[in-house]
Every structure is written in structure tokens, then in C-alpha cells.
Amino acid sequence: MTFKTEQEQFWAGTFGVDYIERNKSAEYLASNLNFFSKALQRIGQPKSILEFGANIGMNLRAIRLLFPSIQTKAIEINPTAAAELKSWMGEDNVFEGSIFDYNLSQQVDVALIKGVLIHINPDMLQTVYEKLYTASKQYILICEYYNPSPVTIPYRGHNDRLFKRDFAGEMLEKYTDLQLIDYGFCYKRDPAFPQDDVTWFLLEKK
């Protein structure tokens, strides 16, 4: 597999495999269940969702508990994580490869990205925004570290691997038919359902 950026190579390799082990606990699933019950409460009963950068699917597992009949699809660059996704989602529902190489075959009710835009090379963000927008019939859920202006910070001892900015704001400016319908913040010190300090934004196509 060939990559356009250093960040893709990073997540496709051993660091991406190590990430699996850090995020597969029952406690993390419970936190995700609480998270998505809030982030998706305004959209009724979605029939389909596509997650960009799903890892082993801890977000999608929680969403399936909330919406048992929902059709789940995923894009995942790490082969080990993609194999686990395929084992319970089915091969036809998982695209193994880079988001940049994903070609949309079918729109979904919700396009989801959580903790992934922060790791995308900033030069490629417009490509990801376009794919998120095109994939969605109606809703886009963005869950990332927020900063009002673009900044780069070290990530677990690595440089140029974590970028914070106003991702949702940039999408709202880029696509004039998008509107913000809900947003919120999760705190890493939450005593019951901690998440990373994630700010989420639910966008809807008018």
C-alpha cells in the first residue's frame, strides 16, 4: 500500500496496532455509549452510518447498541484493525485503506469522524472534508480536539502527528448548505464516562 503522507504510514504501522490495545476496554465502550446517546439524540433513527477511521469499531459498536437496525460501514487504514472490523461487520462493509483513496459507492444518513481529523496532514484536510460531505445524505458528526486557530502539538513523543483547529467551522464555511444543529464537550476527568477532551459538532444538510 502506498501513501501520500507520513501520517498515513504512521497509523497503518505498529503505532496503529498499539492504539488498538489502548482502546478496546468495556469501560471505553460504555463511555462511547454515553457519548453517542448525547451526540446523536437530535437525529431520530438513522438507517446507515459510515465512520472515517474506525479502528476496531468501538464507536460503531456503541452506535449499534443505540440503533440496533442501523447499517454500519467503515474506512480503516490499519490492516490489523481492518481485519477485526471485517470479522464482525462483514468484508463488504469495510474499506481497508486510506481515506484519501476511498471512493464513495453509496451515501449514508450519517458520516462520522472521531479523533481522526486531528491526525490528518493539514494539506489534505480539504480532501477529507469533501469526502465527508459527499458521503452524507443528511448528517455529519465531527468529534475532535478543538482550537479556534490551527496549531500543531507533540503526540506521544512524535512531531507533526496531531493538529488542532476548528474543523467544523471550516466545513460550515466551505459548504453553505450545512448548518450546525448541536454541539458539546466531553471531559477526560468525567467521573463516570470519561473521554479525551473532545468537542463534537453535529451538522445537517439543509
**If pLDDT is split at 50, 70 and 90, which confidence band does 183 have?**
very high
In a 3-state reduction of DSSP, which class is residue 38? Answer: helix
Q: What's the rounded mean pLDDT across residues 189-193?
A: 96
Judge whether 1 lies within some domain: no
Angle (nearest 5°) at CA 187 between 204 and 185: 20
Average pLDDT over residues 125-135: 98
Residues 6+ apart with CB under 8 A from 99: 52, 53, 75, 77, 116, 120, 127, 128, 131
The number of CA neighbours under 13 Å toward the Cβ of 91 is 1
The enclosing domain of 142 has a CATH number of: 3.40.50.150
Q: What is the pLDDT of residue 161?
A: 84
Phi, psi of 170 (to 5 degrees): -65, -35
The contacts of residue 7 (CB under 8 Å, 6+ apart) are 119, 120, 121, 160, 161
Residue 178 falls within a domain, yes or no? yes
Q: What is the pLDDT of residues 151-163, one digit of tens each?
A: 999 887 778 789 9
Q: Does residue 200 fall inside a structural domain?
A: yes
Contacts of 83 (CB under 8 A, 6+ apart): none
Asked whether residue 167 is assigned to any structural domain, the reply reads: yes
Residue 155 lies in a domain: yes
Nearest to 203 by CA among 185, 186, 181: 181
Q: Count how many domains the chain has.
A: 1
Domain of residue 121: give its range. 6-205
